[in-house]
Amino acid sequence: MNYSYLDFLALFGVGGAHPGGLKLTKQLLAEEKVTKQTSLLDVGCGTGQTSAYIAHHYGCSVHALDCNEIVVEKAQQRFSTLKLPIDVKVGDTESLPYPDASFDMIISESVTSFTNIAATIPEFKRTLRPNGVLLAIETVLEQPISDEEKNQIMTFYRFPQLLTEAEWHTAFTHAGFKQIEISTYQPSTDQTDEQHAADFTLSADIDEELLDIMEEHEEITKRYEGKIGYRVFRCS
């Protein structure tokens, strides 16, 4: 089988598979006004690490969505073990299975980058309430690179596009977001702590070929250090 990077994340069941991990998620949310009344969508929830944290910590209404059935099942397991009332379903960011103006906040943790943003970002806007906030941690192109290099990155991650910060800004503005605040996330090589380390919910049979994906991912992130970077976009 020809596995993708996202297959790797799903079968290894990597929780917190985004730059900054759970630690960054906590920091970003601490700056927001989240109450018990908040209705929040964790789009591309993966195995549900972020959703579980939010439901547990804030006690608000959390909806979790992912296009991958394997991770949705793993997220369901996590939520039922922790007895958290989170609505989780399989679905597509490009046509979100929710009515207009459903959410006060949408969190996309390295998710939008993997989708066709021309379809996804307007869906975020549609399902957010008028004062709603989109928090997105996404990959950006930091400096011009050759077509060949760009092609390697996009092919490996199956990114439909690889945008600069300015291009992301334009896409958010285009979808109707008025205020876009951008901050840079600098990956650190600090020793991780137990509380914030990625958690793995392994599938029963791990094909050895998936190890090649992990290796190539590590090679690519190393090779393109400084050429690809990460931003937090806060759009309202």
Partner 1 sequence: MSVGQYHSLCQRYRGKAVEIRCNDGKVHRGVIQRVDRNRVYLQPLNRSRNLGGFGYGGYGRYGGGYGYGGWGVALGAIAGIALLSLFFI
Q: In the complex, what is the shortest distance from the CB of residue 233 to partner 1, in angstroms, rounded to a whole number?
A: 15
Q: Of these, 41, 139, 172, 232, which contacts partner 1 (CB under 8 A)?
A: 139
Tell me the per-residue interface mask from 142 to 181 with partner 1, x by CB under 8 A, - otherwise: ---------------x------------------------
Looking at the Cβ atoms of 16 and 48, the one nearer to partner 1 is 16
Q: Which residues pair with 65 in a beta bridge?
A: 43, 89
Among 228, 207, 220, which Cα is nearest to 7's?
207
Is 17 within 8 Å of 110 (Cβ atoms)? yes
Task: Report CA-CA distances (Å) from 20 to 104, 139, 158, 186, 231.
Answer: 23, 12, 21, 8, 10
Contact between 230 and partner 1 per CB under 8 A: yes
List, in sequence order, every beta strand (DSSP E) within the chain: 14-15, 39-43, 61-66, 87-90, 103-109, 128-141, 180-185, 199-200, 228-235
d(Cα 165, Cα 231) in Å, to the nearest integer?
Answer: 8
Contact between 205 and partner 1 per CB under 8 A: no
Looking at the Cβ atoms of 35 and 191, the one nearer to partner 1 is 191
Q: Which stretch binds partner 1 (CB under 8 A): 24-32, 84-92, 165-173, 184-192?
A: 184-192
Q: In the complex, what is the shortest distance from the CB of residue 171 to partner 1, in angstroms, rounded to a whole number?
A: 18
Under the rule (CB under 8 A), what is the footprint of partner 1? 9, 12, 14, 16-19, 110, 113, 139, 157, 187, 189-194, 197-202, 206, 208, 211-212, 214-215, 217, 221, 230
